[in-house]
Chain A
Amino acid sequence: MAAPLGAQRIPRPAPSIETFETIVDEYQRRLYGFALRMTGNREDAEEIVQDAFVRAFRALGKMTDEQRAELRLQPWLYTITLNVTRNRLRSKRPTNVALDALADPDALLSGTGEGPDSPEQIVERGTDMALVEQALLQLPMHLRAAATLRFIEGRSHPEIAEILQQPIGTVKSHVHRAVRILRRVLAPQVGRLAPAGDPTHAVL
């Protein structure tokens, strides 16, 4: 699903606003989704993505041709988005955790994809999803970033290390710690949500 790392090279000269449009177009969905999972708030996510692209555009304008040629766009954009998110969450009152009704029924309906569910299933699934979202938001920032990039964005360990600018070993241990916390908090949801054809059966 995700483009291979660094597949998108940026034109050597600094991009004009017109060429930058293709970059915005290609990455806005992914970065918005990431910012939303990190903040749990749509308004924040939208503003974070806006700020991130402005920063990216400016930074590209200041780089030399060589720097631009070296740049791996996707992890770099994630890094910028994460930095903007961090700044924003740091300055935010901790009381502001009003979850933005993230798991809205429409998204869930279109999200499951596999045939029509009964209304009860949809409701139950919606509640479970909301709990999964909340559990993720309760994680400390660095664990949340690692878990989101690993399991939601589907990035590999080396990519995550590049995005978080941390050694791979640190990334792995953060991912593990995040899972350890989540599996404690989410035990009932894990039982219910994991499909009957348990994914582990394939390998075991």
Chain B
Amino acid sequence: MRCCDVEALWDEMRDGVEPRREHVLAHLRRCPTCQDHYRQYEGVAYCLSCLPIVEPPPGLVPKILDHIKSVRGARYAVPDGIARIPSPLGTLYVAFRPAGITYVAIDRGTPFEAVCAEIERRLHRAVRAADAPRWVTERLRRYFTTWETDADRIDLSDLSEFERAALRKAMEIPPGEVRSYSWIAREIGHPHAARAVSQAMARNPLALLVPSHRVVDATGALHNYGYGLDLKARILGMEGYAPGPARSRA
């Protein structure tokens, strides 16, 4: 039996089904090179099998079931419509219901089905492909022509009190300007909650229309953005923001 034949077989032996087991072992006893390889191979397998089993977070099962119930559709909620809308930043996926726009995602090359799944998980409702009504396209057009951000036709009702407050405050930042996470925290009366503000921004369901991209860290560094820092810089540039030397702002 040649070395290469043996190497192909010893992994099979782990399942205990290899009929040529004795031949493999006989070869291994004779051939120090293969013995060495075999030890390393088993060592790698052993290391991997030692990785600790990480328990899922408590409450994952009810969470999954709730999620299934909530996206199951009509019995619980009318699904939001979702439309693809072209924009200067590429395709936008926009979810909406009569109360307003509920989600804006910027296309990152994710398949449509996966985008929908993600949005459904965030909204806890089903979404269904639909043509964008005129008010939706008009609302986006207004953003892309004036860069103004206001609460008109925006539905943040799925969010927590705190998230809503933080996102509403972000909407007050004028186009072409930025503010820090701690500025928002102070303004909404939770001066020590800059971290929570940064999380609320990271979870912003309405890209662009709620300008979480105008929120930066205390040194003026862009810090983070769900769609990548390059895009954050590009959007800010588009809105007329000219970054000065990094400094503390507000």
Binding site for B on A (CB under 8 A): 17, 20-21, 24-25, 28-29, 32-33, 36-37, 42, 45-47, 49-51, 53-55, 57, 84, 87-88, 90-91, 93, 95, 102-104, 107-108, 110-111, 128-129, 132-133, 136, 147-148, 150-152, 154, 156-157, 172, 175-176, 179, 182-183, 186-187, 189-191, 193-195, 198-200, 203-204
A53's partner among B25, B28, B64 (CB-CB below 8 A) is B64
User: How far apart sit A36 and B109, CA to CA, in the bound complex (Å)?
Assistant: 23
B216 to A: closest C-beta gap in Å = 17
* Residue count of chain B within 8 Å CB distance of chain A: 50
Please state if A136 and B11 are interface contacts (CB–CB under 8 Å).
no
Please state if B57 and A42 are interface contacts (CB–CB under 8 Å).
yes
Please state if B44 and A186 are interface contacts (CB–CB under 8 Å).
yes
- Chain A interface mostly helix, strand, loop or mixed? helix
Please state if A199 and B42 are interface contacts (CB–CB under 8 Å).
yes
Please state if B52 and A129 are interface contacts (CB–CB under 8 Å).
yes
Please state if A49 and B60 are interface contacts (CB–CB under 8 Å).
yes
Residue B98 at the A interface, CB < 8 A? no
Please state if B47 and A91 are interface contacts (CB–CB under 8 Å).
no
A28's partner among B8, B29, B46, B61 (CB-CB below 8 A) is B61
Q: Can you add 16 more A-B contacts, CB < 8 Å, to A17-B68, A151-B45?
A: A21-B65, A29-B53, A37-B51, A42-B57, A46-B60, A50-B60, A50-B64, A110-B52, A132-B48, A175-B11, A176-B8, A176-B11, A179-B45, A186-B43, A194-B42, A204-B28
Residue B164 at the A interface, CB < 8 A? no
List of B residues within 8 angstroms of A46 by Cβ: 56-57, 60
Which single residue of chain B is at the shortest CB-CB distance from A185?
B44
Residue B50 at the A interface, CB < 8 A? yes
Please state if B54 and A24 are interface contacts (CB–CB under 8 Å).
no
